[in-house]
Amino acid sequence: MDERLKIFLDAKLNADVSRRRFLQGAAGLSTLTVLGAGTHAFAADGKLGGELNFLGWDGEHGGNVAKPFLEANNIKMNASFQSAADEALTRLNTGGRGSMDILTPNKDFQAAILNAGTELFQPLDLSRIPTAAGLFPAFKDAPWLVRDGKTYGIPIIWGNEPCVYNPKKWDAMPPKYTDFADPKFKGELVLLDDPFGNIWLWATSLEMPEPSRLTAAQLQQVLDAMLKVKPNVVTVGASHGDMADVLVRGDASIGVGGWAYQVMIAKEKGVDLVVGSPSVDGTFYWSDSYAIAVDAPNIDNAYGFIDFMTKPESNAALAAELASGCTVEAAYDLMPENIRSMFPYDNVRKPGGGILGTQTVVPPQEPDGDVVGAPAWVEAWQTFKAS
Amino acid sequence: MLPAGIFYVVFFAIPMLCLLVLSFWRAKGFELIPDFTLDNYHKIFTSPLYRALMLRTIGVAFTTALIVVPVAFAISYVMRFVFERRGQLILQIILLSLFSGYLVRIYAWRTILGKQGLLNSTLQWLGIIEQPLEFLIYSNIAVVITLSGLLLPLAVLPLYSAMLNVSRDYIEAARDLGAGKLHTLRTVLVPMVIPGLRTAFAFAFLLSAGDFVTPALVGGSQSMLIGNIVADQFRGIGSNWPLGAGMAFVVVAVMLLAYLTVMRLIRWITRW
């Protein structure tokens, strides 16, 4: 079977932001082993063993990376994978309370949950995760993880969503996303099916004061700007994998809101792609964290797991396997150069979250005064797609 | 009948009832609020976006059915009355395509219809076209072609089965009495295979109308169907389950109405 096809068969549909699904088919990518990482561990106030329930993005359970730790401590991991950011919350509200231990929320979802005061995560006892001291400055006390002095997550990977394009057709990306309305881009663009990412990019391009907090009029302005680009859009990719397929087949030459890893995959198929976002507008950053669910039944195993996965060797292995940025400073040197060079690490060497801390992509879930809520963004995106 | 009845109640009636109840609830933030509001239905019926997508969906589904059912009818006819001895063999060959996964077949169509796909490359190689035919992929045409390819085997099954019950004697008797080929087809064969036609049309029309994977993968930027909007309401931040539940019910009702109208039309034509 065609290797490309195999990858996409594994990438299930309808993942909202689907870096992880792309990786399902890229099995065997892990290039690092966790040699040197101590595998036998004890929680501060309890012995490990028994079960550990994981609900998060595919791959972030560390199927390969966590294996030595799980085996050494006789822990059976029950991993299930989410296809949408809010799936853990849905499970919690539909009888799943007390059945989840480890969750892997993304930055903006976790911030939204914490801001809304919605019950889902429990505050972490950092004394039980000593390895967290090794995080990059941006990930220590990151603003999206801390509320009322309590920390609710340990970042595990991060990255950004740049443009990925064919250098045979384009020397560089235009300075702004709104420039993609130029007719010279007709039949050349593929976007990701991500309402928040796309609307945020165009709101940034229109120099909205707060791109994630738009009034109805501003949202309409953004939609109008996006609709000017629509004639140039070939298709909206269901996932990052689908986007890559469109680019590799030559059906489009620019992927907006792409992923650096698509370059590597395309190279394997003999197609040259490069990364380069609009110089003025830039792009947005994401990060996923390990969090512990409220009423987690296996709390000691959960702490032991997070502590193990935050060791430099584990973090580097996981980040390499998921083709993402590592979050532990000492893991940087352990990363393969081809993956390490994909991400601008200067951003995470700054304290206070760096650009990840100041940048919010997802809008408020509910209207806030004149500011519209997330459902309005979804509807605007649907209007864009249907037009 | 009892096991079938229990299965139907547990796996269809109860989930549908839950969905119906949910359609009267509200979503607030990350929570579902039990309520009895008609707001969701009001929004569905007053939104130009949803109305336009509903019409587009009916158009695509109906076009697909208009292609699939006659082709399936012709194939079934050939299997039953032309190559009668080889009918089962042809059926097995047609059913072979169902052994591959749904996504595999969609990606296969993308390979065939793409800008640099099999069809465009062949046409260019033959010198018939100079530039790739871009409408073949990421368009409503691509959705209709792909859906037709996916659903054809399913439509052949009930039609061939219905034709197996039609004796050749009826056809020959009609011809002996002076009926032309088309007249025989319209007044003898079609009325006798109405149940098969109904099922074939239901497969082609209803499955097309409810599909959201094919439009997402080969439909491109202007071929979103109502199923995609419904799916969007059930995933991610900003989702609205009650609205999605209401949409699902409206889609079912509209498609059922369209289906019944077409069935009535077929019956009228065969009696005319």
Contacts of A143 by beta carbon, 8 Å cutoff, 6+ apart: A111, A352, A353, A357
Contact A92, A293 (CB under 8 A): yes
- Whether B237 shows a pLDDT value over 60: the answer reads yes
State residue A46's pLDDT score: 55
State residue A32's pLDDT score: 42
* Cβ <8 Å between A14 and B116: no
State residue A190's pLDDT score: 96
On average, the pLDDT of chain B sits at 91
State residue B2's pLDDT score: 86
**pLDDT > 90 in chain B, percent:** 70
Contacts of A386 by beta carbon, 8 Å cutoff, 6+ apart: B49, B52, B53, B56, B222, B224, B229
pLDDT band at A39 (very low <50, low <70, confident <90, very high): low
State residue A38's pLDDT score: 54
What does the alpha-carbon distance between residue B128 and residue B147 come to, in Å, rounded to a whole number? 26
**Residue B189 located in a structural domain:** yes
B35 touches chain A (CB under 8 A): no
Q: What DSSP line would sit under B241-259, residue for residue?
A: HHHHHHHHHHHHHHHHHHH
**pLDDT > 70 in chain B, percent:** 100
**Residue B117 located in a structural domain:** yes
B101 touches chain A (CB under 8 A): yes
State residue A30's pLDDT score: 41
- Whether A332 shows a pLDDT value over 90: the answer reads yes
- Whether A11 shows a pLDDT value over 70: the answer reads no
C-alpha A301: how far from chain center: 24
B232 touches chain A (CB under 8 A): yes
Q: How many CA atoms lie within 13 A of A319 on its CB side?
A: 35
Chain B residues in contact with A229 by the CB 8 A cut-off are none
Contact A180, A208 (CB under 8 A): no
**Residue B52 located in a structural domain:** yes
Count of A-B CB contacts under 8 Å: 114
Using the CB atoms, write b or e for A236-270: b if 16+ within 10 Å.
Answer: bbbbbbbbbbbbbbbbbbbbbbbbbbbbbbbeebe
Residue scoring higher pLDDT (A36 or A190)? A190
pLDDT band at A41 (very low <50, low <70, confident <90, very high): low
**Residue B239 located in a structural domain:** yes
**Residue B166 located in a structural domain:** yes
Closest by Cβ to A386, choosing from B28, B220, B224: B224
Q: Which two tokens stand for residue A333?
A: 């040197």
By DSSP bridging, strand A75-81 and strand A50-56 are parallel
- Whether A253 shows a pLDDT value over 90: the answer reads yes
**Residue B29 located in a structural domain:** no
Closest-CA residue of chain A to B55: A386
Contact A208, A218 (CB under 8 A): yes
- Whether A3 shows a pLDDT value over 50: the answer reads no
- What range does the domain containing B253 cover? 40-270
Single pTM value for the model: 0.82
A378 touches chain B (CB under 8 A): yes
Q: Which two tokens stand for residue B43?
A: 């929004």
Closest-CA residue of chain A to B225: A386
- Whether B224 shows a pLDDT value over 70: the answer reads yes
Question: For A107-141, how does the pLDDT look when each residue is reduced to its tens digit (9 = 90+)?
Answer: 988 998 898 888 899 999 999 999 999 999 999 87
**Residue B246 located in a structural domain:** yes
Contact A21, A55 (CB under 8 A): no
* Total domains present in chain B: 1
B107 touches chain A (CB under 8 A): yes
Predicted complex: ipTM over 0.85: no
A336 touches chain B (CB under 8 A): no
Taking alpha carbons only, the member of B155, B117, B164 closest to residue B136 is B117
* Residue in the structure block whose two tokens are 């235009």: A174
* Cβ <8 Å between A235 and B53: no
- Whether A37 shows a pLDDT value over 70: the answer reads no
What is the average pLDDT across A187-201? 94
Closest by Cβ to B114, choosing from A113, A242, A251: A251
Sort B110 into a burial class: Cβ within 10 Å, 0-12 / 13-18 / 19+.
Answer: buried
Q: Where are the alpha helices (DSSP H) in chain B?
A: 2-8, 14-22, 39-46, 48-77, 87-96, 102-113, 118-125, 140-164, 168-176, 181-184, 190-192, 194-210, 213-218, 226-232, 241-271
Residue B193 identity: V
Question: Can you give the CATH number for the domain in which B83 is found?
Answer: 1.10.3720.10
* Distance in angstroms between the alpha carbons of the first and the last residue of chain B: 37
Range in A109-113, A150-154, A218-222 with the lowest mean pLDDT:
A109-113
Chain A residues in contact with B211 by the CB 8 A cut-off are none
B229 touches chain A (CB under 8 A): yes
Residue scoring higher pLDDT (A180 or B270)? A180
**Residue B6 located in a structural domain:** no
Taking alpha carbons only, the member of B65, B80, B77, B215 closest to residue B155 is B65
**Residue B23 distance to chain A (closest CA, Å):** 16
Question: For A368-378, how does the pLDDT look when each residue is reduced to its tens digit (9 = 90+)?
Answer: 999 999 989 99
Contacts of B108 by beta carbon, 8 Å cutoff, 6+ apart: B100
